Structures are given as structure tokens and as C-alpha cells.
Amino acid sequence: MDQQHEQARVDGHARTPVATIADEHRRNGARLDSDLARQAAAGRTVRDDAAVVFDLDDVTVSYAGFPAIRNVSMQVRERMITALIGPSGCGKTTLLRTLNRMNDLIPSASVEGTVRYKGADLYARHVDPVEVRRRIGMVFQKANPFPKSIRDNILFGPKATGMTFDADDLVEKSLRGAALWDEVKDKLDSSALGLSGGQQQRLCIARAIAVEPDTILMDEPCSALDPIATGAIENLMRELREHYTIIIVTHNMQQAARASDMTAFVTTEVSHDEDGRDRRSGRLIEYDRTEVIFGDPRDTRTEDYVSGRFG
């Protein structure tokens, strides 16, 4: 495999192979001793040989000409859970929405740099955003089931994308995949709006699975849920990891530490434009294995953030 694909790049730093960083940390031992670091270190297998799904090279996303997040270079690997953490307003959601061209829906948004998805430039001229979103599903911060029946919510995507499918099979498979089947199998034709918040969010995950994507983007999927519902979603994410690549934006560090394999820390940096005015935009500070980010981060800003001294 191409040498480049084995590197986890961090903006501005020399490109260091993942394995080397991990070895170094094993030698030094975790510097941070916290609950988060222990959770992050708990039994986790990061496949160093996993294929690269997203390859971002110097990506800057701007709204109306003002960068919301800039100069991001990173690689996201297959069948792992990659968490984007950072203080609110740092641009992590913007970065996530760049990965399935959701930002196209905002007229003033523009993307510079290249975003490669399995080698294909997502922002090439001939690429159809609808096809992109078919392959790269998304679950949103607030559960947004359609005001239709549970069944129709599941079948919406397959119908929209013109898949051929067996409705009953697909509904059951998707709901089982989202660990919701047993709770709703007797009321598939009742309104999705009657479900609890946690059930609605799992329905949205089931809905995303139904179009058979290979990647699922999750934008703070648990921020509106209680701890029990959150636990259910996290368990589900671990199961989904067997088949899907998952990228999750979260401001909950516990969640990132518990659930993710890789973690990227993004924060807001103030820079000055030509007129000397402050411009705030997000920067990727550090991207590494979750246990490194929470146990032995290289950047002091990351350390301050994960140890609660910032944000």
C-alpha cells in the first residue's frame, strides 16, 4: 500500500507514521492519569493497516469568505470510530458536513483544498452531491425523524435513491441494525414522532443504515439524550463499527474517550487579517489514537482541553 496512506498527518507537523507515535507512547507510558485516559486506554484495537476512507489535504471551509475552519489535513481510516472534539464554535461540525457535501446546502459556504473519498475528489466538477450522500450517511444533533410512520422513515432513503428492495426485510434489517427492532416491531405503522428522544435518534440511525452507506457521519448524536439513551447509542456505534466507518462530532470528552478509536482535537484560533482585525477560525491541533489524545497528548492545548483546563 502507498506509504502516504499509512500516515496520520497533523497539520503543520512532520508526517509521522501512526505506529511510531504509538510505540513512543508505549515507551514513555501515559502521562495523563485521569478517568478519561483510563477509558481511552481500555481494550481497543486500532488496525494500522486499515484502508484510508477520507483523505483531507489542506482543507479550508469558509462562510461568506470567512474561514470557519482552515488548513485541515488528516486521514480517516475504514471501520473505525473517529471522534472530532473541541470547544463549541471551533468548526468541527463544519468539517463533518464537508465530508458529505452537506455544506452545499448553505449558499455562502465554500471549500478549498481537496477532500478525497476512497481516492475520489469529492469536490470534483462531475461529482453529484446526492450520490455522495447516498454513500456517506448522516445522523444529526437533534433527532429529525420525518412526520411519517416508522416504516416510511426507514423506506424514505431507499425510495429516494431508487434502490430495489424488499420492504419488510429492509425495515427489519435496518431497525435490528440500530437495535430498535424489539421496541418498535409492533408499531411500525405508527408515527415516528411518538417515539422517545433516544428511540428517535436510533430510528435516524436505522434510516441512515437503510440506504446501505459505507460511512456514517454523526453530528453530536447524543447531545439531546439522557445517559441511558446515550449508552444505547454508544453500544450501537461499537456494533456498527464492524461494518461501517463512523465519524462522530462530540463535545462530550467522556464519549470520545469511551467510544472512539481515533480522536482529532480542533480548537478556535485567533489570527489577524490584513486590516489587523481578529479572525476566528478552527484549526486541527492534534489527531491521533484516542488513548494518546487522552493519555499523552503532544500539544499542550490538547492537554489543557482534555484535562478540563480549557473549553
Partner 1 sequence: MTSDVRGAGGPAVDLRAGSRRLGEKLVLTLLWVCAAASILTTVGIVVILFSEAAGFFREEAVSLRGFLTGTTWQPFGGAQGKFGVLPLVAGTLLVTVIALLVAVPLGLTSAAYLSEYASPRTRRILKPVLEVLAGVPTVVLGYFALTFMTPLLRATVGQLTTISVFNAASAGIVMGIMIVPTVASLSEDAMSAVPQALREGAYGLGATKRHVVHSVVMPAALSGIVAAIILALGRAIGETMIVALAAGNLPNLTYNPFEQIQTMTAYIVQAVQGEAPRGSLTYESIFAVGALLFVITLLINIAAARFVRRFREVYS
Partner 2 sequence: MAVSTPERISRDAVQALQAPPGRNRSERAFKMVLLVTTGIAVVMLVVLLLDILVDGVAFVTGQRLLQYSSRFPDQFGFRSGITGTLSLMVLVALLSFPIGVGAATYFEEFAPQNWFTRLAEANISNLAGVPSVVYGLLGAGVFVYFFSLGRSLIVGAITLSLLILPVIIVASRESLRAVPRTLREAGLGLGATPLQVTWRQVLPQALPGILTGTILALSRAIGETAPILVVGALFSRRADNVPWDINDAFSALPIQIYNLVSRPQQEFQAQVAPAGIIILLVLLLLMNSIAIILRNRSSRSN
Helices first, then strands: H and E counts in the chain: 12, 12
Residues 76-105 that bind partner 1 (CB under 8 A): 100, 102, 105
User: What are the DSSP calls for 227-242, one per residue?
Assistant: HHHHHHHHHHHHHHTT
Q: Which amino acid is at 201?
A: Q
Coil, helix or strand for 70?
A: strand
∠ Cα 245 268 297 (to 5°):
60
Residues 192-231 that bind partner 1 (CB under 8 A): 204, 207-208, 210-211
- 133 is a contact residue toward partner 1 (CB under 8 A): yes
Q: Applying CB under 8 A, does 120 fall inside the site for partner 1?
A: no
Could you tell me which of 75, 76, 52, 66 has the C-alpha nearest to residue 112? 66
Is 148 one of the binding residues for partner 1 (CB under 8 A)? yes
> By the criterion CB under 8 A, which residues form the site for partner 2?
1-2, 51, 116-122, 124, 126-128, 130-132, 135, 162
| DSSP label at residue 185 | T
204 binds, among partner 1, partner 2, none (CB under 5 to 8 A by kind): partner 1
**Shorter beta-carbon distance to partner 2: residue 128 or 242:** 128
Cβ atoms of residues 211 and 181 within 8 Å: no
Helix axes 167-177, 150-160, angle to 10 degrees: 110
Closest contact distance (angstroms) between CB of 44 and partner 1 is 28
Part in contact with partner 1 (CB under 8 A); list of ranges 33-41, 74-82, 143-151, 223-231: 143-151
Which of partner 1, partner 2, none sits in contact with 126, Cβ below 5 to 8 A by type? Answer: partner 2
**100 binding partner (options partner 2, partner 1, none; Cβ < 5 to 8 Å by kind):** partner 1
Residue 70 contact partner, candidates partner 2, partner 1, none, CB within 5 to 8 A by sort of partner: none
Q: Please name every residue paired with 280 in a beta bridge, in sequence order, or none if there are none.
A: 270
Q: How far is the CB of 274 from partner 1 (least distance, A)?
A: 29
Of 97 and 258, CB closest to partner 2: 97
Residues 154 to 183 in contact with partner 1, rule: CB under 8 A: 156-157, 159-161
Q: Which residues contact 246 (CB under 8 A, 6 or more apart)?
A: 80, 81, 82, 215, 216, 217, 218, 237, 240
For residue 241, the tally of other CB atoms under 10 A from its CB is: 17
- Quote the distance between the C-alpha of residue 101 and its chain's center: 14
**Using CB distances below 5 to 8 A depending on partner kind, what does residue 160 bind out of partner 1, partner 2, none?**
partner 1
Q: Residue numbers of the site for partner 1 (CB under 8 A)? A: 100, 102, 105, 130-131, 133-135, 137-140, 142, 144-148, 156-157, 159-161, 204, 207-208, 210-211
